[in-house]
A and B are shown apart, each in its own frame.
Chain A
Amino acid sequence: MSNTIIKIKNLSASIEGKEILKGVNLEVKAGEVHAIMGPNGSGKSTLSSVLAGRDEYEITGGSVEFLGKDLLEYDPEERAWLGLFLAFQYPVEIAGVSNMNFLKTALHEKSKYLNEDPISAKDFLKRVKEKAALVELDDKLKNRSVNEGFSGGEKKRNEIFQMAMLEPILAILDETDSGLDIDALKVVSNGVNTLKNKDNAIIVITHYQRLLDYITPDFVHVLADGKIVKTGDKNLALELEEKGYDWV
């Protein structure tokens, strides 16, 4: 089928000689939401880092096909231009660079890569207004330096705001729920649900089930010791919550 967005085959990766991923298999199609759950140290964050192209990790085996392309051949920024987005577990602060300038630069670089006309200032502002409303991002935060002095919740909202602005084809949310209170969790989830459509896909990486109360996954995978050991529907998440990870 041509609606496959990402196909991960037998992916292995190590850092400083230590193998973390030991043969991950996963296929995500357009319109789907996948949740990857697993205990600490199971390799969840490694998976997202490897997909985004962090160079500390060494790929020791397997392949990743993204929209029919060999993803591992591309630089991190090219992966972004192709439509991959990672919402960071710990978003980074960049002093002196306003959120707006940051996003405008990102969008301009993308259109340059794709040989498209850059977004006009007017359309840009319109999109900012529309997308900020989606995650109830405070007006002031838009013009502040990227994540500087933001609270934990504000940073996570900002991640989803950036996702909305960049309109990725595949969004990976790495523990986006950590550090969020229940209200923020609702806002963030609501944003993600609005952005979901039949042409894109979302991978939600989480330790806890509670995020999945708001973002309903089509598939739930359990990652343990560098491998996907169990796959099911949303009920698997509930079962995990009840029985703990030792159960799998």
Chain B
Amino acid sequence: MAYTEESLKTELENQEYEYGFTIDIESDRAPNGLSEEIIRFISAKKDEPNWLLEYRLNAFNIWKKMEEPKWAHVKYKKPDFQDICYYAAPKPKKELASLDEVDPEILRTMERLGISVNEQKKLTGVAMDFVIDSVSVSNSFKEKLGELGIIFCSFGDAVKEHPELVKKYLGTVVPTADNFYATLNSAVFTDGSFCYIPKGVRCPMELSTYFRINEAGTGQFERTLLIADEGSYVSYLEGCTAPSRDENQLHAAVVELIALDDAEIKYSTVQNWYPGDKEGKGGVFNFVTKRGICEKNAKISWTQVETGSAVTWKYPSCILKGDNSIGEFYSVAVTNNNQQADTGTKMIHIGKNTKSTIISKGVSAGHSHNSYRGLVKIGKGASNARNFSQCDSLLMTDTSGAHTYPYIECENSTAQLEHEATTSKIGEDQLFYCKQRGISEEKAISLIVNGYAKEVLNKLPMEFAVEAQKLLEISLENSVG
């Protein structure tokens, strides 16, 4: 490789940094704070190629000039970006080869949710990747998938083993300068998952990533890149948990989906980051950018069950670029106590005959606020585009709030748009009826809420649907007032 003057300069800078830096490079944790040095540290730690370091530094320079957006219907104390640790590897230093070596507490958490990993592996053939704090610790079924040419690995491995794919697609759906938190992620992301499905391959199993923030005071900035080549199909699951901590933790992920011609991606999330305690202390700030692009006849379907986080701020979106492409968004967002959620989707119709469906179900309990915010945009060339949106809100208490902000921008007169919305309060009559039949209040609430969210829960793969139902039950304990 020929050195350009630029890269040589960077390399020299790198070296200087390596020696000049006061902390032990072998350390598992970067010092708190964000600076060019920290970014170089992360990049060096991950043994990254120069182009990726450049990508990060460019993002960091853009980010420094950006301001945190304020339009969301959420209130929170702005994170101190100099008081966050941007890289933390899990405590066990050796690379984990199997799930047996994963922290038993993590396994217990997952078992509480009804997902025994081992069992799942055996019974359902879910290939799982774990990202704990910043590092991906295990990935099962890699070989089996490899036979089909499917790549499913940690982002870090992908950079090393498939740099051409990463380089080609990284930042193509969510550009570096996209928004404050996405740009921050582009500068400091530490790991995440990478997936590539070759032409015409139907992925035979659910691919799954489990994210967890473990270390105190760390942020999690994972990056997920999923490419479905022409005519392929994949169903991808993402689960998230974090232990209870008093301080707020920041989670700012970026997920990019690329569905090439005739491909289909089904992306399901069950998000259960720590929501903070009853008084609203602690909890994860979940500021995530998720977006997918559909080429001709492609389809992307987002399904999310959001029960965790102190503040959730995310809009999984679809850019329907190709003719006849389809975008779907199914969401259940539950907020309790002092949680706040501002979530929804954007459907950007560019191609002809593009179709999108939005089903959003909000449930607000305690003193929480739950907002749906969505944009349906029909471009000039999107002839015969169609959208159907349905936004329902269910209030559990008099002190909770539900808000809906549906935006529609239409530049093509042949488009058809439908929007339906309802707001209801959980009925005393319904609860009494259930109780009279011998169903306790908690079970009754869970039945009623699950019934209300059924349309969305039905879209989840079986093993996740069970987990999601339990989560709804747990997060709504003692919630009627």
Contacts and interface: CB of A to CB of B under 8 A. Distances in A.
Interface of A: 52-54, 75-77, 79-81, 85-86, 88, 91-92, 94-97, 101-103, 105-107, 109-110, 113, 145, 162, 166
Given A77-B435, A97-B447, A92 B440 contact: no
A96 B437 CA distance: 17
A47 to B, nearest CB: 15
A76 B435 contact: yes
Nearest to B433: A92
Report which residue of A52, A85, A94, A113 has the largest number of chain B beta carbons within 10 angstroms of its beta carbon: A94
Nearest to B424: A95
Contact of B436 (A52, A96, A97, A101): A52
A105 B447 contact: yes
A143 B133 CA distance: 45
Nearest to B430: A92
A53 B432 CA distance: 9
Interface in B194-216: none
Contacts of A54: 432
Nearest to A90: B429
B391 to A, nearest CB: 16
Contacts of B438: 77, 80-81, 106-107, 109-110, 113, 166
Interface stretch (B41-49, B169-177, B366-374, B450-458): B450-458
B106 interface: no
A80 B450 contact: no
Interface in B404-449: 427, 429-430, 432-441, 443, 447-448
A77 B447 CA distance: 15
A76 B436 CA distance: 6
Given A77-B439, A96-B453, 20 more contacts: A53-B435, A53-B436, A77-B435, A80-B437, A85-B436, A86-B436, A92-B430, A94-B430, A94-B433, A94-B447, A94-B448, A94-B451, A96-B450, A96-B454, A96-B455, A97-B448, A106-B437, A110-B438, A113-B438, A166-B438
B451 A88 contact: no
Interface of B: 427, 429-430, 432-441, 443, 447-448, 450-455
B439 A96 contact: no
A27 B432 CA distance: 25
Nearest to A107: B438
Given A106-B438, A109-B438, A91 B450 contact: no
A46 to B, nearest CB: 14
A147 B125 CA distance: 39
Contacts of A80: 435-438
Nearest to B457: A96
A95 B440 contact: no
B433 A97 contact: no
Nearest to B437: A106
A166 B437 contact: yes
B451 A96 contact: yes
A185 to B, nearest CB: 23
13 contacts: A75-B435, A80-B438, A81-B438, A92-B429, A92-B430, A92-B433, A97-B448, A102-B439, A106-B437, A107-B438, A109-B440, A109-B443, A162-B437
B440 A102 contact: no
A190 to B, nearest CB: 22
A78 to B, nearest CB: 8
Nearest to A168: B438
A106 B433 CA distance: 11
Contacts of A86: 436
Given A92-B427, A92-B429, A92-B430, A145 B436 contact: no
A76 B452 contact: no
A92 B454 CA distance: 18
Contacts of B450: 96-97
Given A92-B427, A94-B430, A109 B439 contact: yes
B404 to A, nearest CB: 19
Contacts of B455: 96
A84 to B, nearest CB: 8
A166 B437 CA distance: 8
Contacts of A102: 434, 437, 439, 447
A234 to B, nearest CB: 28
Contact of B451 (A92, A97, A113, A162): A97
Contacts of A81: 438
Contacts of B453: 96
B451 A91 contact: no
A96 B443 contact: no
Report which residue of B432, B436, B447, B453 has the largest number of chain A beta carbons within 10 angstroms of its beta carbon: B436
A18 B8 CA distance: 89
Contacts of A85: 436
Contacts of B436: 52-53, 76-77, 79-80, 85-86, 88
A162 B438 CA distance: 11
B451 A77 contact: no
Contacts of B433: 88, 91-92, 94
Contacts of A91: 433
Contacts of B440: 77, 109
A220 B432 CA distance: 28
Contact of B452 (A88, A92, A95, A113): A95
Contacts of B441: 77
B447 to A, nearest CB: 5
B237 to A, nearest CB: 23
A95 B435 contact: no
A116 B440 CA distance: 17
A103 B443 CA distance: 12
Contact of A96 (B427, B434, B452): B452
Contacts of A52: 432, 436
A72 to B, nearest CB: 15
Contacts of A109: 438-440, 443
